[in-house]
Copies of this chain bind each other. A is one copy, B any other.
């Protein structure tokens, strides 16, 4: 059974393995009143990734935490959307990497206001110099090992909405806090989950939604040269909180913003 910790009123044991090793996961969920956007997908991902890490958690426990967060926090935000963060750790353990024989996971619940939403006309992005390295066995999981994103974020100058991280081959893999979608001709392209540090819940929703709407989605590498190739029609950044954000300028080059991904798929219809 989970040990539920409300970050505004309780601390975390100093022996927590989330602190010691980043031994855990998190979800960042957009809330509207008491309802969560992409609720099922967030729960599905955390349960699936907890299983990959062998952290014992029931979907119902996480669902109950969201249900508890709504009444507890919504009034703080005066009708505005807000952000619920769930941090799941393996729990407390002694020194050493090996899993303790018994461990009661901690679930830390914290809330914050929505960040300012970017202009619908598109944002400015650039590439991060800090490289992204993905362990194939940890690929896609939103674990607490996020120092690469922290380090890349030091490169923000104030002009960019996002910095896009590259793999060793120079491919555009993902932003520090967003996934990428490219519209090319009549197809959509997004990096494959197996090559991602974080396979966002919004990304998964959009792939499903696009395919359900009859669009072709290719999961594969995105080389920067695609942005200047014939047929390129748009680059989008996506995450659970800000949704779908078109990029109007990348590395100083204007990009077309002519196809509205956000008009095809609207994540706010998933509120529950």
Contact = CB atoms under 8 A, between A and B. Distances in A.
Contact of A146 (B13, B16, B21, B154): B21
A228 interface: no
A179 B148 CA distance: 23
Number of copies: 2
A17 B16 CA distance: 13
Interface residues of A, number: 58
A16 B13 contact: no
Nearest to A134: B133
Contact of A89 (B19, B54, B108): B19
Given A19-B19, A23-B150, A131-B137, A177 B97 contact: yes
A264 interface: no
A12 B19 contact: yes
Nearest to A152: B97
What are the 5 closest A-B residue pairs judged by CB atoms, nearest first?
Answer: A11-B11, A22-B22, A7-B14, A145-B145, A21-B146
27 contacts: A11-B12, A12-B13, A12-B19, A16-B19, A19-B19, A19-B87, A19-B89, A19-B108, A20-B144, A21-B22, A21-B144, A21-B145, A21-B146, A21-B147, A22-B145, A23-B150, A53-B147, A54-B154, A85-B95, A96-B177, A131-B137, A132-B135, A133-B133, A135-B148, A138-B148, A138-B151, A145-B145
